[in-house]
Structure 1
Amino acid sequence: MDDIVVIGQLARDLVLVVDEVPGPGGTTPVRERREMLGGKGANIAVGLAQLGAPVALVGVVGDDDTGERLIARAAADGIATEGVVRRPDTGTGLIVDLVADGWRYLEHLPEAVLLREDDLPLDVIAGAAAVVVQLQQPPEVALAAARAARGRVVLDGAPERLADELLARADVVRADHREAELLSGRTIGTADDAVEAARAVLAKGPDLVAFAVDDVGNVFVWDSGELVLPLGDVEVVDTTGGGDSFVAALTFALTRGDGVEEAARRAVEASGDTVAHLGGRPTLTAR
């Protein structure tokens, strides 16, 4: 299989499980604690590596011990890390996933851990069969990466700016409910709403649009068809990383030549697998 490049965030991911979130001045014991390589870009890259794709990660860590450990963990996962920048005088990003009566996320992702245009390995991007661009990065950087790509461009999320320019460069767009409304400029309440919104985004350039719709499921729209896959019977333990595994499996399947419907089903299965356990790190297999 040809190489896939993931451009996105990597951070230290700390998962804390508590019975209840204490109020001001209160304390509560932590029932379970896990630490792992995290961030949306890293999660997608890990999922691709688990599925068997040759994958490279482009992102930023600090010049601290945490950054060094995260790079080593990514390399151990089978990810090429030459594109990971170690930013001087910068602390590596931190994401805290607090699991109690729902999920709460605390993020310390300062501007210094975002990519800059001169961080991008343009030759590596140009040589990849597919490039996943995670849109938590600055829009100008995302657009520079999409312009450099010669293979399939997969956008994940909704940019703050330059949406039309990015959509014109995209082959695949994946967005959650809120992001889908931002991209389309429409309110989405039903599967029919989502299909219409996806058609509006499709008209701006992509070949495939995939929207996750609350209380509905996943909606896929392409030139010659559409598919709505309802939410499965998976017991959701932690939603962290579900979308990342979705993107990894969808990109993997399309890159190896699967049809859209088969790729869509594999993406939904991968997402369901990930939300059934704590933390955003996927546990995918080629099966």
Structure 2
Amino acid sequence: MTSSPSSCPPRWEPLILCVGLVCRDITVEVPTYPLEDSKVVTTGYREGLGGNACNVAVALHKLGAEVELVTKILGTQHGVYDKLDTLGMFRHGMVVVKKEGHLGLSYIISSEDSRTIVHSRMSEQMMPDEIPIITYHHFWSTAQVSCLYLDGRFPHVAEVYATEAAVNRGVPVVMDVERSDRARLRELLQLCTGIIVSGHHTLHDVQTTLFTHGRSIFDACPRLEWIVVTMGRDGAELILKQQKEEGRTKDSSSSRRCIPSHQVDDVVDTTGAGDAFQAGLVYSMCKRRMLSTKEV
């Protein structure tokens, strides 16, 4: 049996759109965290790309996904654009590049039992009026997007993309909720299919700060289907939305599953353990959805 010229074979690698921060990371390793007014000799040093969305995008690329990164890159002196372009992050031209200004810089002091980050913000944020609108509409009308990933940065830009994905295209939206005080967090949560939260304390802060009267976050965010709470060396907890019918009303409840961490030796953290975990989660979700679609 031959297929018609217009029919396309199934594409087994997902296209994942990542919206968020790219910055530079400088990591120094020390035996112990330095005391005030002291001098410590480092035991390790490395420079590289950073930013949550950037780290997740790079990890997704390594897993085999096609990735399009929506971000703003300032300055040309460190070759950041060229490094990411070599990985195929800008095939559809959704990035904003300006020669003036500077990217954010994270200076990371890492010891055996602690990690401290001193972050200098980028000189200007990405705003919605910088979205290349013709490219934007062409992308959404021609690309088969499997998932939209947000790291919570550039919130007004993220909201534009999330609205298009969730409301107009039916594309799942996954967001990293690192803190409860991000701008436009309530509006972005309304558009999310799933969120990844840093610890139960952050989830508690989100629920008590943004949603009053003890409302469940699932009731307040009707599109939300799951929450993953990361707990470091203790693993992660998956909270799934469940619908239970009582008379004519439907109330949201949730079921919880704890996934312990898998202990391994000789791990070198070059991307960011949390970001690598999120990339694996998003990638596996996309692959599972694609396999389910094929079986149907």
| TM-score, L = length of structure 1 | 0.75
Specify the SS of the correspondent of 1:223.
strand
Q: Unaligned stretches of 5+ in structure 2?
A: 1-12, 243-254, 291-296
Match of 1:275 in 2: none
* Closer, same or farther: CA 125–71 of 1 in aligned 2, 3 Å: farther
Cα distance in 1 between the residues matched to 2:52 and 2:218: 24
Cα distance in 2 between the residues matched to 1:18 and 1:214: 21
Q: Which amino acid aligns with 2:148?
A: V
Match of 2:189 in 1: 167
- How far does residue 258 in structure 1 lie from its aligned partner after superposition? 5.5
Question: In the alignment, which of 139, 152, 166 is matched to residue 172 of structure 2?
Answer: 152
Cα distance in 1 between the residues matched to 2:258 and 2:131: 36
Q: Which amino acid aligns with 1:139?
A: P
- How far does residue 125 in structure 1 lie from its aligned partner after superposition? 5.7
Cα distance in 2 between the residues matched to 1:218 and 1:156: 14
Write out aligned runs for 1:22-171 (5 A): 22-66=34-78, 69-80=79-90, 82-100=93-111, 101-112=113-124, 114-121=125-132, 122-123=136-137, 124=139, 127=143, 128-135=145-152, 137-149=153-165, 150=169, 151-157=171-177, 158=180, 160-171=182-193
Cα distance in 2 between the residues matched to 1:182 and 1:239: 30
Check the 8 A contact 2:28/2:44 in 1, yes or no: yes
Structure with the greater alpha carbon radius of gyration: 2
Cα distance in 2 between the residues matched to 1:252 and 1:171: 15
Check the 8 A contact 1:202/1:222 in 2, yes or no: no
Specify the SS of the correspondent of 1:57.
strand
- How far does residue 80 in structure 1 lie from its aligned partner after superposition? 2.7
RMSD: 2.8
Q: How many residues align?
A: 244
Check the 8 A contact 1:57/1:80 in 2, yes or no: yes
Write out aligned runs for 1:222-233 (5 A): 222-224=240-242, 225-233=255-263
Give deviations 1:259-284, integer Å, cap 9, x for gaps: 9xxxxxxxxxxxxxxxxxxxxxxxxx
Question: In the alignment, which of 199, 202, 211 is matched to residue 179 of structure 1?
Answer: 202
Percent pairwise identity: 23
Cα distance in 1 between the residues matched to 2:225 and 2:67: 23
- How far does residue 138 in structure 1 lie from its aligned partner after superposition? 3.8
| TM-score, L = length of structure 2 | 0.73
Specify the SS of the correspondent of 2:216.
helix
Cα distance in 1 between the residues matched to 2:269 and 2:64: 25
- How far does residue 215 in structure 1 lie from its aligned partner after superposition? 6.9
Greater per-residue helix proportion: 1
